[in-house]
């Protein structure tokens, strides 16, 4: 009985470890992901947003989850950021500048496409 319980606990621990390290495991079996990660790391991404915007929060979470570094500028508190936002024709938030491509709103597919 004890051996059976121990096997279940070890199996659960194995599943948790695999889940936590899935990105590393995936890169071993799919080396093309390393190139994609390098492209993302070299990208110039600027998020024009506010602290109270729900879509801005979604973009932040998305970029963090994908491991995409970005500069987060708050157009409510930073006057220079506000001027840059207005120069981009800022009507509505968020605006994401990915390597010179402007993406308005939360559009995950467009963000990933702009990173390629």
The 10s digit of each residue's pLDDT in 11-48 is: 998 888 877 777 777 777 776 554 445 445 567 899 99
Q: 67-79, pLDDT tens digit by residue?
A: 889 999 999 999 9
Report field, pTM of the whole predicted structure over 0.75: no
Q: What is the pLDDT of residue 35?
A: 42
Q: 80-113, pLDDT tens digit by residue?
A: 989 989 998 878 899 999 988 999 999 999 998 8
Q: Chain-centre distance of CA 95, in angstroms?
A: 15
Asked if 114 contacts 103 with a C-beta cutoff of 8 angstroms, the reply is: yes
Q: What is the pLDDT of residue 67?
A: 86
- Which residues share a beta bridge with 48? 73, 95
The CA distance from 85 to 46, in Å, is: 10
Asked if 96 contacts 59 with a C-beta cutoff of 8 angstroms, the reply is: yes
Q: What is the pLDDT of residue 25?
A: 72
- pLDDT band of 50, cuts 50, 70, 90: very high
What token pair was written down for 9? 């606990």
């Amino acid at each position: 009985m004890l051996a059976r319980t121990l096997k279940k606990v070890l199996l659960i621990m194995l599943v948790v470890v695999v889940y936590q390290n899935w990105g590393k495991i995936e890169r071993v079996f799919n080396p093309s992901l390393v190139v994609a990660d390098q492209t993302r790391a070299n990208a110039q991404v600027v998020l024009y947003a506010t602290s109270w915007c729900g879509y801005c929060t979604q973009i932040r979470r998305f970029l963090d989850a994908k491991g995409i570094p970005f500069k987060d500028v708050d157009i409510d508190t930073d006057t220079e950021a506000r001027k840059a936002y207005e120069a981009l024709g800022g009507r509505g938030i968020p605006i994401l500048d990915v390597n010179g491509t402007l993406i308005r709103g939360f559009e995950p597919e467009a963000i990933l496409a702009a990173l390629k």
